[in-house]
Structures are given as structure tokens and as C-alpha cells.
Amino acid sequence: MARLRRQICRVVLDYFDKTYTNELGDQWQTVKEVLTTPGLWQYAVLLNNFQGSLETRKHLLMHGYHRLTHQSFPETLECYINRNPGKFPSQRHQTGKIKEYYILNASSLLPVLALDVKDGETVLDMCAAPGGKSVALLQCSSPGRLHCNEPDTHRSRWLKETLESFVPSPHMNAISTSELDGRLIGKLHAKSYDKVLVDAPCSNDRSWLFSSDAHQAAERISQRKVLPAVQAELLRSAIHALRPGGSVVYSTCTLSEAENSAVVSSVLNSCRDVLSVDLSDLANTLSHEFTFSAHVTRGLLVLPRKGKAWGPMFVSKLIKL
């Protein structure tokens, strides 16, 4: 219930009103309704195939959840969603005990699906904390090696706790963690990975709207000016870390054009050895569950709507020649 009592930060809302009215037009008003009303937010439940419970699955179905499906979904990926607002109870971390499920925004699975990891591939999750996308990757395939990187010390501990909560010890042998600046990984591990996920640090629209004070809000708005440069550096580093023929997925949880399409376009203009991958098939087959913006280039943008309160989530895919 604490989430419902949080106050909207007027400084951030005014800034978003100006920015997103310009970028999204009339769509911003319907998106704003969801972002500013936590009571409308929906949450998905990703079952852990290392510890899945038939009883949990039955319980979800009894409470109105249905399985999110797509023709390219692996059978091992079981995500359940409910069109009604509300959150399934989370499971607390207990040392030595594997959790049965992970609570997430369903749109956060799209970068994982777009990356399309195959068994045995070497994968880098460059900005991995809190670990939800790493967990989802492991539900889709069995990478030969999964490198989970998170430079922030506190968030790195959170990442390691997530992995310990969802991955049995024998499977941890294929997973490594680090606290490197992602912008350096391309030089330190050049041409080392088949697939790279860059879920970049961004101006998280949902959380920023609930900034605790005006000073924090002003700092965050100021930070927006420098984020695209950092994000572009991360994406370029990811490309350097890829083997020829490998692919990278860039994602954020913001509506910001400057942090989404503009970053990808900037990198494409400066890196001649990569091409953009069309993700329209993914959008077309999931349009009954997600609302996608029709005015985005270089990727997909999920717009939160009442009854489909997923996102924001921007996803773009590049392949290295």
C-alpha cells in the first residue's frame, strides 16, 4: 500500500508534460494516466524453470492470470500476466533456497526475446542489476557462458543475491559476475561474445515521477542531458565486445527519444560494421498484449495504457557484420 501513497513530483511531471507532449503528442495524456497512477500498474510473474511449482501455476490461473505466448517463445519461458492491476506476492530471499518465480514488468522480457540467445552461446549482460533479465535469459536457453556485469557496488550485491535466489549451484558454474565500467568492456573483452544485452541506465520515467524532493528532481532532470552520451558509449563498447556475426540489444525503460532512437542512430552513424534489425514481427505478434508506438525508428517502444500498463520499454537490435 505504501506505493499508492507516494506523491507525484510536480517538477518532474511538468518537465515530462513539456517533453513528451512534444515527442508523443496526444498519446502522452493516456500514458501519463498510467505512469502517475500506481493503482493502475500491472505486474507479471515469471516462473523459474529450475524450481517451478505446479501449485504456483494453478494458483496463478485461478486468480485470472494467463500465459504470455509468442511463436518464438521457448517452452521453458513461462510468464503469466493479469490484465487487472495488482501485484502477486513476492518471495523473500532465503540463503540456500531457490525461488519459484520473479515479479517483473512484462515488457522487460522483450529485450531478452529480441536477443534470442541459443544454447551454448557466450553472452554478456552489461548492466545486469537487479538481475531480472539475466534470470529471464536463463529461462530461455542454456548459455555456454553468461557474464553479468554491474559497476555499482550496491546494485552488484543485489544482482548476486538475485542470481543466488533463482539459479541452483550447479548452473552457477556457467555464470560470472563483475563490477566493470561497461564502457571499458569492449576494450577489455574485444570480440568475446555472441550476444550482448545493454539494458542501459536511463531516466526511469516511473520512478523519476516519484522523486522524493525538488532537489533530487532537479538533479535528475540535469542528469538527462548527459545520459545519452553515456548510453552511446555503452552501446559502442558492446559492439566492440561482439564477435563478427553477433548481435546486441539496447534497451531502456524511458520514453525519451534522446535516450532511445537518437542513441541508436548516433551509434549506427559512427559504427560502420553494424546494421539495425527489424523487430516488427515481434511487435505484430504481441500487439494484443502490449501497446507499441507507431512513430518510433530504430526499434520498438512500449507505451503504458490502462489495461495494458506495461512499459515504458524501448528495444533496439543491431547485428555486427
Read off the amino acid at residue 95.
T
Backbone angles phi, psi at 164, to 5 degrees: -65, -30
How far lies 63's CA from each of 66, 88, 105, 236, in Å? 9, 10, 18, 44
Between CA 126 and CA 156 the distance in angstroms is 12
Q: What pLDDT does 69 receive? A: 86
Q: Residue-wise pLDDT tens for the chain (321 aa)?
A: 344 467 999 999 999 999 999 999 999 999 999 999 999 999 999 999 998 678 999 999 999 999 998 777 889 999 999 999 999 999 999 998 999 999 999 999 999 999 999 999 999 999 999 999 999 999 999 999 999 999 999 999 999 999 999 999 999 999 999 999 999 999 999 999 999 999 999 999 999 999 888 888 888 899 899 999 999 999 999 999 999 999 999 999 999 999 999 999 999 999 999 999 999 999 999 999 999 999 899 999 999 999 999 999 999 999 999
What pTM does this model have? 0.96
The predicted pLDDT at position 5 comes to 61
Catalytic residues: 253
Tell me the three cell numbers of residue 208: 523519476
Identify whether the C-beta of residue 50 lies closer than 8 Å to the C-beta of residue 99: no
Grid coordinates representing 270 are 559512427
* Entry field: residues in the chain: 321
